Amino acid sequence: MAVTPASTPMNPLDIASHGPVIPVIVIDRVEDALPLAEALLAGGVKVLEVTLRTAAGLPAIETIARHLPEAVVGVGTVLNADDARRASEAGARFAVSPGYTSAVGSACKGLNLPLLPGVATSSEIMAALADGFSFLKLFPAEAVGGIPLLKSWASPFGQVSFCPTGGITNATAPNYLALPNVRCVGGSWLTPTDAVRAGDWTRITELARATQALRNAG
């Protein structure tokens, strides 16, 4: 059964207002979705990006949206309009894409689904800006230039803020968060595969709790 999304669309920057790190979550078993989300919430992490990299992604989003309304659950790895539609029907409150196309941007606007579009080049930034998006995901951050690239973009794209994702760790996150044009970072280190498989929710809560001090550590 589809979950009715919130009637008032979220401002994309609200995604970054809840904390310095958005966990990038890959779920293999739907039964892990609820305890995993609860563990992150217990550690103070409210915004959750559940990717569509596995078959469990959509039902996991629906489970979290239905049972944990206090969580801001979104969908990652949105590649096309159909991904956006199905995720919105499942209860996703925002979408994240690894790259940007006008088709994905238009679909999300039509669904009132806030989009954090992925970019890796200046041309992609310009395309996203032309379609009205100014809060963007740098992906894959470390592979395409990371901090030096973000510093270089600060002048020509002063109106743009970023959520770098890809290759960032607990150790390097503060260096990104210290940049004026970075609002938050995305990372998979909050939900280690071995911890999820073992049901070690205490460890995940501890990792989530540790992110709260990152913004002041850079």
Q: What does the pLDDT look like over 32-65, one tens digit per residue?
A: 999 999 999 999 999 999 999 999 999 999 999 9
pLDDT at 164: 98
Catalytic position from the list 38, 46, 49, 206: 49
Could you read off the pLDDT of 157-172 as tens digits, one per residue? 999 999 999 999 999 9
Is pLDDT at 217 greater than 90 in this prediction? no
| 46 in catalytic set | no
| 49 in catalytic set | yes
In the chain, the largest separation of any two C-alpha atoms, in whole Å, equals 47
Domains in the chain: boundaries: 19-216
Taking the CA atoms of the chain, what radius of gyration do you get in angstroms? Answer: 16
Q: Could you tell me if residue 25 is left (phi over 0), alpha (psi between -120 and 50 degrees) or otherwise beta?
A: beta
Catalytic position from the list 137, 142, 151, 206: 137
CATH class held by domain 19-216: alpha beta
DSSP E strands, 6-140: 21-25, 47-51, 72-76, 95-96, 115-116, 118-119, 135-138
Is pLDDT at 212 greater than 90 in this prediction? no
The percent of residues above 90 in pLDDT, for the chain, comes to: 89
